[in-house]
Structure 1
Amino acid sequence: MAILTPTPSAPARAALADLGPLEQLRAGRLARRVPQLLVGLVLYGVSLALMVRSATGLAPWDVLHSGFIQHVPITLGQAVVLFSFVVLVAWVPLRERPGVATLANAVLVGLSADATMALLAEPGALAARVALMAGGIALCALSTALYIGAQFGRGPRDGLMTGLHRRTGLSIRAVRTGLEAAVVLIGIALGGAIGVGTIVFALTIGPLTQWMLPWCLVDLPEAGPEVAPEL
């Protein structure tokens, strides 16, 4: 997941705002923003499960999660939750400011992923597996645009990325690449699920989310300055 800037040709002129938790709740339009946030996070977990059941490889952070559960008696969704809170500890020295979405992301994505995997079996046909992979990537992009567009702040892993960007002066692209390379290498060492899906995800998730975000971004004209670093 990444924080992206709407393109100049986007159909909306809304901007991502840098708000604290109370400001996020006071910014209005809650009747749209809260359901959008919850739907986005639940669908993110569903997209993770689709990638798992495709058996074509997982997103970088999920390579780490899937490797970790080879050594401890927990589910993939529980690993997602656990690592979310581990990453939040790293926010402290980076002085990142959590939002409403931060804790919601940490819990709901993992729970949704486990629930979906309990209902969805791995198909045997290659065409079905490719369809699950493509659907998982597209749904991940949409769910990311929905939850970020709801203007309730960043998820744990996004916050780690932006925090390191601010502290090191490196570009968002460089920080994201470094983080994802590190977690993939650790995940591979632990026996994580890597494959062609991992590569396709890495190449397409940014552009897809960039394209979808303007349609999902809720306009909060009085919320404050834009904060949307380029990838």
Structure 2
Amino acid sequence: MLTRRLVALYVGLWLYGTSMAVMIRAGLGLDPWDVFHQGLAAHLPLSFGAVTALTGVVVLLAWIPLRQRPGLGTLSNVIVIAVAVDAGLWLIPAAESLWVRVTAMLVAVVVNAAATVLYIGAGMGPGPRDGLMTGLVGRTGWPIWSVRTGIEVTVLTTGWFLGGSVGIGTLVYAFGIGPLVQLMVPLIDGRLPGFAPTPAQRPTPTTPQATTC
């Protein structure tokens, strides 16, 4: 079970970073946090991956007053995604024709959703940015949607002013990532601890033994 979780964690994180690189190469707009990362990278002598890692570390510092505790997945998130996105940007050329760019953008969003399901499903600690959201929800009592929206609008606006790429890809990601993740969750439902088994998979009250992973 631990091996399965570790594979899901690191495959998910690597695919997440790779999908970020594909989205950048498509050049049709990025998700809110990557708009922020790209905007910062334009003003710092650092690679995109390094800026991503640096942002993750700063966000982790904000966990301290929120009393959030990092896990293996949290620390791995900072390192693996940064390496994966820089490797992807090194290997993947910029798309030229519009249809290739649109296809790349759509593929990136789908892969990002699959990577998110694997990473969360591993159940080994939230990423820095997700932990910031849950920590703020826990401390303020505000609804999740309002906290998440507030964070993403803030980083998107800041990144846009810094020169980050906002476009149709930003909208596709914003409206597509949630439904895609929801569609993919049943594929690993009950197989990894980050997602509970569906009702059909749970033992009935008369069944003495529990299900196994």
Tell me the TM-score normalized by structure 2.
Answer: 0.88
- Root-mean-square deviation (CA, aligned residues, Å) is 1.4
User: Is it true that 1:215 corresponds to 2:173 in the alignment?
Assistant: no
1:138-191 deviations in Å (ceiling 9; x for gaps): 000000000100111100000001111111111111111110000001001111
Structure 1 partner of 2:10: 38
Structure 2 partner of 1:61: 33
Structure 2 partner of 1:181: 153
1:75-99 deviations in Å (ceiling 9; x for gaps): 1111110100000000000001211
1:102-136 deviations in Å (ceiling 9; x for gaps): 00001100110000110111111100000110011
Structure 1 partner of 2:69: 97
Q: Is the contact between residue 15 and residue 115 of structure 2 (CA under 8 Å) also seen in structure 1?
A: yes
- Secondary structure of residue in 2 paired with 1:71: coil
Aligned-partner Cα distance in 1 for 2:25–2:188: 27
**Among 111, 129, 134, which residue is 2:101 paired with?**
129
- Secondary structure of residue in 1 paired with 2:63: helix
Aligned length: 194
Structure 2 partner of 1:144: 116
Aligned-partner Cα distance in 2 for 1:188–1:82: 19
User: Is it true that 1:118 corresponds to 2:73 in the alignment?
Assistant: no
User: Is it true that 1:169 corresponds to 2:148 in the alignment?
Assistant: no
Aligned-partner Cα distance in 1 for 2:186–2:54: 31
Structure 2 partner of 1:25: none
**Identical-pair percentage:** 47
1:45-73 deviations in Å (ceiling 9; x for gaps): 00000100000000100000000011111
- Give 1:219 deviation, angstroms: 4.3
**Among 153, 167, 182, which residue is 1:195 paired with?**
167
In structure 2, stretches of 5+ residues that fail to align are 197-213
Tell me the TM-score normalized by structure 1.
Answer: 0.81
Aligned-partner Cα distance in 1 for 2:76–2:131: 14
Q: Is the contact between residue 141 and residue 208 of structure 1 (CA under 8 Å) also seen in structure 2?
A: yes
Aligned-partner Cα distance in 2 for 1:131–1:148: 26
Question: Cα gap change, 1:132/1:220 in structure 2, threshold over 3 Å: closer, same or farther?
Answer: closer
Q: Which has the larger radius of gyration?
A: 2
**Among 190, 197, 204, which residue is 2:176 paired with?**
204
More displaced, 206-215 or 68-77?
A: 206-215
Aligned-partner Cα distance in 1 for 2:49–2:193: 33
Higher RCO (CA-CA < 8 Å; seq separation 6+): 1
In structure 1, stretches of 5+ residues that fail to align are 1-28, 224-231
Letter matched to residue 42 of structure 2: Q
Structure 2 partner of 1:160: 132
Aligned-partner Cα distance in 2 for 1:212–1:162: 22
Question: Cα gap change, 1:129/1:219 in structure 2, threshold over 3 Å: closer, same or farther?
Answer: closer
- Give 1:213 deviation, angstroms: 2.2
Aligned-partner Cα distance in 1 for 2:63–2:111: 27
Aligned-partner Cα distance in 2 for 1:193–1:206: 21
